[in-house]
Amino acid sequence: MDPELLKLMIERRLTDMKLQRWHEKLHSNPLCDSYKLFKADFTVEMYFTMLRPAEKNCMYNFRYGSHNLPVSEHRCDSDIILNHVAFV
């Protein structure tokens, strides 16, 4: 088998696996219900490409939850998640 073809096949399979995990996590987390309304594809949002480097860092930190804003204080707390599901 051609090494380049094998490399391409492996890259495609790894990408497919990554997308499957993303969709699984997205659909299994009740905190993502609103997010799912707006984000259906695993792609970079266009506004990220238009930001200056310092703005990108701030936006990445916010999007990935690596900040101290109270908006994400309990997002990983399983009790909060279970209570959220019970009242939806």
- ∠ CA 80-22-50, rounded to 5°: 100
Q: Which pLDDT tens digits describe the chain residue by residue (88 residues)?
A: 899 999 999 999 999 999 899 888 888 888 778 778 887 787 878 888 888 988 988 887 777 666 566 655 555 555 544 454 444 4
Residue 9: the pLDDT is 96
pTM: 0.51
Residue 82: the pLDDT is 47
- Euclidean distance between the first and the last CA atom of the chain, given in angstroms as a whole number: 53
Residue 70: the pLDDT is 61
Q: Which phi and psi angles does 85 have, rounded to 5°?
A: -65, -40
- ∠ CA 12-28-86, rounded to 5°: 175
Give CA–CA dist 59/44, Å, rounded.
13
Sketch the domain layout of the chain as residue ranges. Answer: 1-43, 51-88
Residue 86: the pLDDT is 44
